[in-house]
Amino acid sequence: MEVVKNIYRTHTCGELNINNVDEDVKLSGWVQKIRDLGGMLFIDLRDEFGITQILISNENKEPEEKAKALTTESCIHIEGKVVERASKNLNMSTGEIEVKASKIEVLGKCKNVLPFEVNTDQEVREDLRLEYRFLDLRNEKLHNNILLRSKILKTIRDKMDELDFTEIQTPILANSSPEGARDYLVPSRLNPGEFYALPQAPQQFKQLLMVSGFNKYYQIAPCFRDEDPRADRAPGEFYQLDFEMSFATQEDVFKVIEEVVPYTFEKFTNWKVDKGPFVRIPYKEAMEKYGIDKPDLRNPLIIQDVTECFKDSDFNAFKGKTVKVIVVPDGNNQGRKFFDKMGEFATSNDVGAKGLAWTKLDATGEVTGGIAKFITPEIKEALQTKYGASNNSAMFFIADEFEKAQKIAGLVRIELGKRLDLLEKDVYRFCFIVDFPMYELSDEGTIDFSHNPFSMPQGGLEALNTKDPLDVYAYQYDLVCNGYEMASGAVRNHDPEIMVKAFEIAGYTEEDVKNRFGALYNAFQYGTPPHAGAAPGIDRMVMLIADSQNIREVIAFPKNKRARDLLMRAPSVVSEQQLKDVHIKLDLEK
């Protein structure tokens, strides 16, 4: 990367090599380390591009005195001559040379006591790191994550431009929209008592762009949702590659994703990357085989339903329940402690199982351990012939109400994959989850949308008029990578008649639709093309490419787990005058 040469530097700290010996140079950067060897003093000078060793000898008193007064992480400027190092470090790009300083100038002094060491493997409390994020970002790994993010964004933009998409920005001050989370509300000064909402996604705007005659739209869109944070989800705000296409089907959207995503991953990783077409798994099958709608395909274990197998069993814990089994090849070599620990995991509050039954087949095929006494010869034969239980395998059983059994089995499958180290290494496995149900039952027993309410039902108006709502599928899809949901999308419902009927089934009247989604409803009366799109998550994509376990490690200024910005101290109390300006009075409990 070309750097401007000016009064502060002729080169970067990662640029000099043996070919620069005897050149007079200027460098600027941060003091990473100081080593005083008596007659000589060495400084590791660091900038974004690397580290150069600076030599200060006692021949020149002025730089020596300044160097001895330096503190680590101070920002300094040096001038000197490049010389060949007596003791070379070939692990560094600049390891064959050093710069003998003739002048040192302190550009920005650092306090003597740092809140934590910047470039160290030592564990530092996350709240302290976030409070001093400007220091934390000097850490090489974290700094490189942010540079990587920038390169990934550029790659995505270049690829979308190549595919003839047009980048268009949509409003940040928008209206409230039912995207499945709470809105962040912004009071209006000019319109007392009314509020903007920060967009949970540019959903309605991008659909309106299709009505406006734009062929292909995209943007790197900021999205805002007031939801609880997770390790793979940033609280408050996140970014996504939002795109939409006119006259497009589900297949067209898949082709774009299969073009852009593997291309981006391959450019920045040495891992194996799945190429399109990606595996497609119907939602129902995903829940049956993996117990989750974002399966990690690196894990070879699958869940199987053995309810029929145990229908006449004497084991009371299985009676009247849905019974799931996970067969683990070569699981016979695990000791009793392993099975007990898995039982503790399954019955933990995070999982919620009443218990985890298990048994094994030894090398001779004999059933041993756990619930072996309830495995009749008939059940054993079925487990071997129908469900793949072979000699030396272990079996884990989950019995509960149908949906709960699926969920618990899914969590047990994930944990077994981790504890037994079964996950395929250094690979990105992609799949599309398709055929999501259009509706689901709410906790109150009413019909509600299960995913995106703006999606086209499979079968159109006829399906809505003739089918049980819970049997209607939607043209909705998710992209999943290594167990993370990486994108959601849908073929949009562009027909106002189908739109009204879809919302009517979920308990909304036509007037509700007009009032809540008036812009879309009105626009759909004026010649709307069929359109479809998706939105891969940028933060999650960078997290996966960087092989990071925490999404905050790929965001420059993230919030903590309570959605607080510890660096800028936000959210914060505002003045009475500011509240008056936006016509708000606070009613807080003391």
Reported as a single tens digit per residue, the pLDDT across 261-313 is: 999 999 999 999 999 999 999 999 999 999 999 999 999 999 999 999 998 88
CA dist., res. 146 & res. 471, Å (int): 45
Rounded mean pLDDT, 119-145: 92
Give pLDDT, residue 58.
77
Shared domain for 396 and 502, answered yes or no, is: no
pTM value? Answer: 0.93
- Taking only the tens place, the pLDDT of each residue in 70-99 is 999 999 999 999 999 989 999 999 999 999
DSSP 31-94: EEEEEE-SSEEEEEEEETTEEEEEEEETTSHHHHHHHHT--TT-EEEEEEEEEE-SS--TTSTT
Query: Are both 132 and 267 inside the same structural domain?
Result: yes
Q: Quick one: pLDDT at residue 178?
A: 57
Mean pLDDT confidence for 381-408: 95
185 and 214 part of one domain: yes
How many residues does this entry show for the chain?
A: 590
Mean pLDDT (whole number) for 430-441 = 96
Q: Is residue 219 part of a domain?
A: yes
Higher pLDDT, 121 or 442: 442
Q: How far is CA 289 from CA 303, 350, 413, 434, 497, in A?
A: 5, 21, 10, 14, 37
Would you say residue 115 lies in a domain? no
Question: What pLDDT is recorded for position 422?
Answer: 97
User: 342 with 414, same domain?
Assistant: yes
User: How big is the CA angle at 304 (ends 353 and 293), to the nearest 5 degrees?
Assistant: 70
Average pLDDT, the chain: 94
The reply to whether 174 and 308 lie within a common domain is: no
Domain-located, residue 278: no
Q: Is residue 383 part of a domain?
A: yes
Please indicate, yes or no, if residue 392 is contained in any of the structural domains.
yes
Contact predicate 455/490, CB 8 Å: yes
pLDDT higher than threshold 80 for residue 232 = no
Q: Which of 528, 550, 573 is the last residue of a domain?
A: 528
Q: Show which of 40, 73, 108 is a domain's final residue.
A: 108
Determine how β-strand 272-273 pairs with β-strand 427-428.
parallel
Checking if the pLDDT of 590 tops 80, the result is: no
459 in a structural domain: yes
Is 148 domain-assigned?
A: yes
Q: Tell me the CATH number at 185.
A: 3.30.930.10
Instruction: Classify residue 408: in a domain, yes or no.
Output: yes
- Please check whether residue 21 is in contact with residue 5, taking contact to mean a CB–CB distance below 8 angstroms: no
502: containing domain: 439-473+495-528
What pLDDT, on the 0 to 100 scale, is given for residue 208? 97
Q: What is the predicted pLDDT for the residue at 210?
A: 98
Last residue of a domain, one of 108, 141, 162: 108
Helices 402-419 and 336-346 pack at an angle, to 10 degrees, of 140
Whether 333 and 465 map to the same domain: the answer is: no
pLDDT in tens, 420-433: 999 999 999 999 99
Q: What is the pLDDT of residue 62?
A: 80
CATH number, position 81 = 2.40.50.140
Q: Are 93 and 171 members of one domain? A: no
**Does one domain contain both 405 and 536?**
no
List pLDDT tens digits, range 302-320.
999 999 999 888 899 999 9
Please state the rounded mean pLDDT for residues 237-261: 97
Do 328 and 405 lie in one domain? The reply is yes
pLDDT digits (tens, 9 = 90+) for 338-370: 999 999 999 999 999 999 999 999 999 999 999
Q: Is residue 503 located within the same domain as residue 564? A: no
Overall number of domains in the chain: 4
Identify whether residues 510 and 544 lie together within a single domain.
Answer: no
Does 561 lie in the same domain as 517? Answer: no
